[in-house]
Amino acid sequence: MSNPMAGGNMAGWSMLRSIRHRDEVSTHRLTRGTAKRIMAFAHPYRRDIIVFLVTVVIAAVIGVATPVLAGHVINAISGGGPDAGAAVVRFALIIGALAVADALFSLAQRWYSARIGEGIILDLRTRVYDHVQRMPLQFFTRTQTGALVSRLNNDVMGAQRAFTSTLSGVVSNVIQLVLTAGVMFTLSWQITLLSLVLLPIFVVPARRVGRRLAEITRESYDLDAKMNATMTERFGVAGALLVKLFGSPEVEAGRFGARAERVRDIGIQSAMYSRTFFVAMLLVASLAQALTYGLGGWLAVTGAVSAGTVVTLALLLTRLYGPLTALSNVRVDVMSALVSFDRVFEVLDLRPGIEEKPDAVPVPRGAGRVEFRDVRFRYPAAAEVSLASLEEVATLDRTANEPVLKGVSFRVEPGQMVALVGPSGAGKSTLSMLISRIYDVTDGAVRVGGVDVRDATLASLRDEIGVVTQDSHLFHETIAENLRYAKPDATDDEIWAALAGAQVADLVRALPDGLETTVGERGYRFSGGEKQRIAIARLLLKAPSIVILDEATAHLDSESEAAVQRALSVALAGRTALVIAHRLSTVRDADQVLVLDGGRIVERGRHDELVAVGGLYAELYRTQFAVVDSPAPYAEVDQPEPIITTVPMGTYVAQEALPPAVAN
């Protein structure tokens, strides 16, 4: 006789998993309309789902028909007679044909299951990824990256199970249970009732085991998350350097080892609880089968039932316990799938910070004019841009932030350079992010080329604006790939021209792999000055009419800064420039200096005029600019021929911006 629970192991595991997730599901409150939105995702696959369910039903019918035919074989053998041999062969052929059909339907079921499941995963992941890319910058400064990635992986996979394992399991188990119970009661209601007596003996202890498993599983997940966070931080270049400078490898290894040991202990406990569960399930099913043979055998001896009926009942019993145990937790299975969908929809329901109007107009190419009209701005509250579950907090702060900009007005004409100066927190970086529409103004208007940036197409706006920050980001890809992020169709000649304009072509040519050199995580294989010049080359390849420099040389040594300044002299040639400055040379060469303090422009004019006034700028000049004067001012650098001006404008390259918490 085969394993009495061969047909129920998967159902048993489904029950165990359901019990383990019961507490998590019970604490989640579904959003209204979740089921309707799920149907919208399933609509493109409705035909595949119908075929899939048909294969599930047929497989369930075959599963019940096979034991019945086996009983007929036993009856034919025990009954004897001249036609017994032919009957046995006929039933055997039918059983064989059903086995072949079952195998084919199983393959078809798996194919449709994979097609539906992977299709839904694709749709959900691409939808969430595209949506997240449109979220405001503050969303990323508040959200835990690991929690967000989990939505695209774990929760999407959980949602996919709704249309594969959960849906097929419910349909298959219902069909099997109805058919099996109906056939068993038809053959012998006494044996059927006796077989079900032991079911509570299994289910009640199983729930207690499940609750304990849920506790240790949650602890295991927490420890895994902490270990992953530790590895992510320590294995990054910046984290590894910090450990080497200030940390102790022995202490780090000890902390990690302690958590890993606890995970090992939990793994052993979990394995034993799981094995105990399955052993108990097999034991109860075997005892029930023994009762079936005992009572059925006695009834067969007395002539109440046939021997074939006893065998049929014993075989059907293996297909009764699995569906019963699985369906006892069907609500948890369904709710688990709904919760996964709901957690994905939570992210999709967050409103993007920046949206393009249906009737948006392009910014005139090469316009170069920037105008602020009574601009007021405050950063969104946490509840406006984030989710508590992504920050691992109970509730989000709904308190409105204080205004950062309070009525800022100025104009920059094409080709002019404007320097933005002021103490930390004055709003300089915030102002620059409003131009490139990283954020939208709370009140007032920002106009580029005479067009309100809120009325402009995002593509045209980003074509006109290029940004270089104090820590420009490079992806862990080749130099060529990082530069083509600004212009995907750029030729090698255009890339070399941009590198030459950025004063870094000789360095790249000297590398063994040239343009195919991988820059490393965040570009750490290059020095700060080299990385900044590659970022400037990216900007030159884009060829914008407006350039924003957010303290692009703030953290460089004198030699690196001189090289970057020479590169910037090419980048600024003939372009409108807004420079957040901390060097006197930049301020001296500016056509206009705007002094910000407390979110307002408190002084404006040229360098000499502001020094003569003796206000805040004069104080900054004495305490900051005069001390850290640049070794290579823009205007004093011998500017090479602006070879990059012939490069057509490319596409927008997303530059790294400062988060609100550290914005100037």
**Which residue, among 652, 277, 634, has the nearest Cα to 456 in the 3D structure?**
652
β-sheet with 443-448: strand ranges across: 405-412, 370-377, 443-448, 451-452
pLDDT bracket for residue 637 (50, 70, 90): very low
Q: Is 425 exposed, middle or buried (0-12, 13-18, 19+ CB in 10 A)?
A: middle
Residue with tokens 């149907």: 39
pLDDT of 621: 81
| pLDDT at 298 > cutoff 80 | yes
Three-point CA angle 27, 29, 33, nearest 5°: 155
| pLDDT at 26 > cutoff 70 | no
Torsion on CA atoms 445, 447, 450, 451, rounded to nearest 10: -80
pLDDT of 409: 92
Strands 405-412 and 546-550: unpaired
Q: What is the mean pLDDT of residues 616-642?
A: 55
| pLDDT at 649 > cutoff 60 | no
| pLDDT at 10 > cutoff 60 | no
CA distance 277 to 202: 9
CA end-to-end span of the chain: 77
C-alpha distance from residue 67 to each of 24, 61, 91, 178, 284 (Å): 39, 11, 11, 15, 20
Residue 109: how many CA atoms within 13 Å on its side-chain side? 21
Highest mean pLDDT: which of 12-21, 137-146, 212-221, 360-369? Answer: 360-369
Which one is predicted more confidently, 587 or 634?
587
pLDDT of 443: 92
Q: What is the mean pLDDT of residues 159-164?
A: 72
Q: 407 near 444, Cβ under 8 Å?
A: yes
CA distance 399 to 389: 18
Q: Residue 517, Cβ neighbours under 10 Å: how many? A: 15
Q: 378 near 442, Cβ under 8 Å?
A: yes
pLDDT of 221: 63
Three-point CA angle 443, 449, 451, nearest 5°: 45
In the chain the domains, ranked by start, together with CATH numbers, are 9-348 (1.20.1560.10), 370-662 (3.40.50.300)
Helices (H) and strands (E) in the chain, counts: 26, 10
Which one is predicted more confidently, 59 or 573?
59
H/E stretch holding 243 reads helix 237-246
Strands (E), 434-543: 443-448, 451-452, 465-469
CA distance 130 to 347: 11
In 247-394, where does DSSP find H-type helix? 249-302, 307-327, 330-348, 382-385, 388-391
Q: What is the mean pLDDT of residues 267-296?
A: 77
pLDDT of 373: 92
Q: What is the mean pLDDT of residues 436-450?
A: 89
pLDDT of 181: 83
Three-point CA angle 227, 228, 233, nearest 5°: 100
* Nearby residues of 658 by Cβ (< 8 Å), 6 or more positions away: 429, 469, 550, 664
CA distance 167 to 16: 17
Rounded to the nearest 10 degrees, what angle do helices 165-187 and 9-26 cross at? 120
pLDDT of 658: 33
Which one is predicted more confidently, 218 or 431?
431
- Both tokens of 436, joined, read 């490139």
CA distance 58 to 186: 21
What's this model's pTM, rounded to 2 decimal places? 0.67
| pLDDT at 103 > cutoff 50 | yes
Q: 574 near 645, Cβ under 8 Å?
A: yes
CA distance 557 to 371: 34
- Both tokens of 212, joined, read 């304990």
In 458-527, where does DSSP find H-type helix? 458-464, 479-484, 492-501, 505-510
Torsion on CA atoms 120, 126, 132, 134, rounded to nearest 10: -130
